Amino acid sequence: MKSISGIPASYGIAIGPAFVFARVEIVIEPCNIQDPDKEWNRFMEAQETTFQQLDKAYLKAQAELGDEEAGIFGAQKLMMQDPELIQTVKFRVESELINVETALYETAEAFATQLEAIEDEYLSARALDIRDVSSRCLRNLMGLKDSPAEGLIVPSIITAQDMTPSDTVLLNKDLVLGFCTEVGGSTSHTAILARGLGIPAVVGAGEALRKIKTGDSLVVDGDSGEIVIDADKKSLKEFKKRQESFLKIQADAEAISHQPAITTDGHQVEVVANIGSVDDVQPALLSGAEGVGLLRSEFLYLERSSLPTEEEQYQSYKTIADAFGDRPVILRSLDVGGDKDIPYIDMPEETNPFLGVRAIRLCLIRPDLFKPQLRAALRAGYGNNLKLMFPMVATVEDVEKVREVLEECKQELRDEGYDVAEQMEIGIMIEIPSAAVMADQLAGVVDFFSIGTNDLSQYTMAADRTNAEVATLASGFQPAVFRLIKMVIDAAHTNGKWVGLCGEMAGELLAIPILMGLGLDEFSMNPPAIPFAKRLIRSISHEKAKQVAEHVLQLKSDSEIREYIKTEIPEVDPKEL
Amino acid sequence: MPETTITITHEVGLHARPASMFVQTAAKYSSDIEVTHGEKTVNAKSILAVLTLGAHKDAQIIIKAEGADADEALKALEELVADNFGEN
């Protein structure tokens, strides 16, 4: 029995065989070819596939890890379209009549070697990038699987150096019992993914993990950060006991997940899901979601080379909205721009993309993007409870402009003879401090608000949430942010409107009592968090939550708030329930 | 062939984001553009080649352009470097 310790990143105990996630070497077989044009076409196709994979990885990395990690994929794309690289490959294929795999491999390798020769940490990392992206293109050329993830066939604990979004996107999540990685912290991609899936994880366990081989018997303790190889009978029994007690908590939560979220003193709130595709509908329904508080529409725009048509959008929105029947589904209009790049949407380069032409700002100047989406939504919402919500609203004028376009679309659709959701509710995201401050006026022009705490926190605190140096400032447990949330809720309620919250905070057990005490009406979160959130809400009183929230507004810091909540409402720890 | 000599003032040199911006700017023009640092001259539209220049902070680079929009290209690149890659 051996033990390795790392950073606990996601609750629970996993017991099972190890699956070592290691990249497969690509073996290039040099050969001669007859038709250089044909060979070149093969390359162009593989290059295009590579671009699409990188774009997808970019957006996913950006959503899950932030701009810096996402930037790696941007740089890799630039390398894969480098004229020196491309011309050298083309020249060699045409003049030497060799297969493009050989030409690409050798050319990329030559560049990597040159970069490595200059002794510089940054350039060595770029050498890895050119190797990584050329291997990706080679795999596409050779029709090889994108990832070692394909080898996972029995339920296992994944051990890896680290995992990138393009790795995990391909994992069969049903076969993953737990994760352990050599590098990374509690906000690394693996950690976030594990929490999202509700499976245990230990990260940053160091090179000691390399001793583990596929099939080794492992225990991963996501509470303490311990990884045990070949646990002896006695400790295995102990771990199994703890695993059972955790699973019991989970089962308890799941058992009540389809009951309403009502406090002990009869106050009911809505618990709904954040989803990002048609595939997410079933898991959301199974987890007890009472609707969808955030349907990200970006999925329709990825992995393709032109805009989705109105008809395609209509089909997807309608499928999702119909699946929830009369329960609400809130569609968020396209939230890209600035730094979130979709290759076929021509967007200006900006020095400060977070403060630039993002989301609704882009849509308002690009009717070719905006109108098909609005038309699709208005058509899809006929006969169900689809609502529309707009991100990055800063002023009342923004809403007025949106409403104008919306009316225009409605009129067009009526003229064309379509059934239109005439009474569709229109809401906005509150994620810019100006919108929170002006909430009383905004409440007069919309039907509901949904607070986006991730962006609201970083804009309020002037702190990039992906920058570790200032991450705690942007964490969302800032008294200033809670005060803004209170302003927003009060302004909405005075005007007879309701307020939801679809940021990370909605699913955080520590935050739920505070938000409920402040009067939040709707909590929108990732599906795995729903049973736990409902279980907590059903075990506390609204009266107590109100008192606690009142006091929180008077506290001075993130840590003070967290400590206070843990003391006042011990139920926020799932084990205490 | 028009050319210009300019000093990189950016903290990270002609690497990372500045290198990407430099290459992307050059790529907007149809002219052939070369950049020289020390004894090495490379295609200014190639990120891989530009990185191998190893042009750090305070490095002097020479940019040459040839083609229909050579002057505009030089001007744009010069401004980009002089403007510290948009970070001034």
Residue A86 sits at the chain B interface (C-beta within 8 Å)? no
Asked if A75 lies within 8 A of B47 by C-beta distance, the reply is yes
Report yes or no on B88 lying in a domain.
no
Question: What are A119-167's pLDDT values in tens digits?
Answer: 776 777 788 788 888 988 998 998 876 667 777 889 999 999 877 655 7
d(CA B40, CA B38): 6
Report yes or no on B32 lying in a domain.
yes
Per-window interface: A 346-375 vs B, CB < 8 A: 349, 351
- pLDDT given for residue A220 in this prediction: 96
- Three-state DSSP class for A553? coil
| CATH number, span A257-576 | 3.20.20.60
Q: Sheet harboring B40-43: ordered strands across?
A: B3-7, B60-66, B32-37, B40-43
Start-end of H helices in A13-120: 36-65, 67-80, 83-96, 100-117
Asked if A75 lies within 8 A of B20 by C-beta distance, the reply is yes
Residue A58 sits at the chain B interface (C-beta within 8 Å)? no
- Three-state DSSP class for B40? strand
List, in sequence order, every residue forming a beta bridge with B34; answer none if it has no partner.
B43, B64
Inter-chain Cβ pairs, chain A and chain B, closer than 8 A: 46
Assigned token pair, A468: 């570790």
d(CA A523, CA A363): 27
Question: pTM of this prediction?
Answer: 0.60
- Three-state DSSP class for B73? helix
Instruction: Single out the residue of A462, A522, A519 nearest to residue A494, CA to CA.
Output: A519
Q: Which residues of B fall within a CB distance of 8 Å from A85?
A: 46, 48
Complex prediction ipTM: 0.87
Fold that domain A2-21+150-249 belongs to in CATH: Glucose Oxidase; domain 1 (3.50.30)
Beta strand pairing status for A386-390 and A426-430? parallel
B4: closest CA of chain A, how far (Å): 23
- pLDDT given for residue A8 in this prediction: 79
Taken in order A308, A312, A315, A319, is the CA torsion positive or negative? negative
The distance in angstroms from the start CA to the end CA of chain A is: 33
- pLDDT given for residue A476 in this prediction: 67
Instruction: Single out the residue of A303, A339, A474 nearest to residue A69, CA to CA.
Output: A339
Asked if A78 lies within 8 A of B24 by C-beta distance, the reply is yes
Q: What are phi and psi for residue A214, nearest 5 degrees?
A: -55, 130
Which residues of chain A are modeled with pLDDT < 70? 23-25, 61, 63-69, 121, 145-147, 164-166, 168-170, 185-189, 192, 303-304, 338-341, 465-468, 471, 475-476, 574-577
Asked if A120 lies within 8 A of B54 by C-beta distance, the reply is yes
Nearest CB to A130 within list B20, B45, B48? B48
- pLDDT given for residue A352 in this prediction: 85
Asked if A122 lies within 8 A of B45 by C-beta distance, the reply is no
Architecture of domain A36-142: Orthogonal Bundle (1.10)
Domain boundaries, chain A: 2-21+150-249, 36-142, 257-576
Looking at chain B, which runs of residues are DSSP E strands?
3-7, 32-37, 40-43, 60-66
- pLDDT given for residue A68 in this prediction: 62
List, in sequence order, every residue forming a beta bridge with A272; answer none if it has no partner.
A524
DSSP A200-213: -EEE---GGGGG--
- pLDDT given for residue A271 in this prediction: 97
Report yes or no on B87 lying in a domain.
no
H or E segment and range at residue A500: strand A498-501
Give me the half-sphere count of Cα atoms (radius 13 Å) on the Cβ side of residue A78. Answer: 26
Comparing alpha-carbon positions, the chain B residue that sits nearest to A108 is B48
Range of the domain at B21: 3-82
CATH code of the domain containing B49: 3.30.1340.10
Answer yes or no: A551 catalytic. no
Write the single-letter amino acid at A460.
T
- pLDDT given for residue A497 in this prediction: 98
- pLDDT given for residue A100 in this prediction: 95
Question: What are A229-261's pLDDT values in tens digits?
Answer: 999 999 999 999 889 888 887 788 888 888 999
Instruction: Quickly count: other Cβ atoms within 10 Å of residue A256's Cβ.
Output: 16
A125: closest CA of chain B, how far (Å): 11
Beta strand pairing status for A522-525 and A268-275? parallel
Task: For residue A307, give the DSSP letter.
Answer: P
Q: What are phi and psi for residue A515, nearest 5 degrees?
A: -65, -40
- pLDDT given for residue A576 in this prediction: 62
Instruction: Single out the residue of A286, A269, A368, A371 nearest to residue A324, CA to CA.
Output: A286
Q: Which residues of A fall within a CB distance of 8 Å from B51?
A: 115, 123, 126
Total domain count, chain B: 1
Angle at B54 between CA B51 and CA B56, to 5 degrees: 115
Taken in order A164, A165, A166, A171, is the CA torsion positive or negative? positive
Is the per-residue pLDDT at B24 higher than 60? yes
- pLDDT given for residue A262 in this prediction: 97
List, in sequence order, every residue forming a beta bridge with A323; answer none if it has no partner.
none
Report yes or no on B10 lying in a domain.
yes
Residues of chain A with pLDDT > 70: what percent? Answer: 92
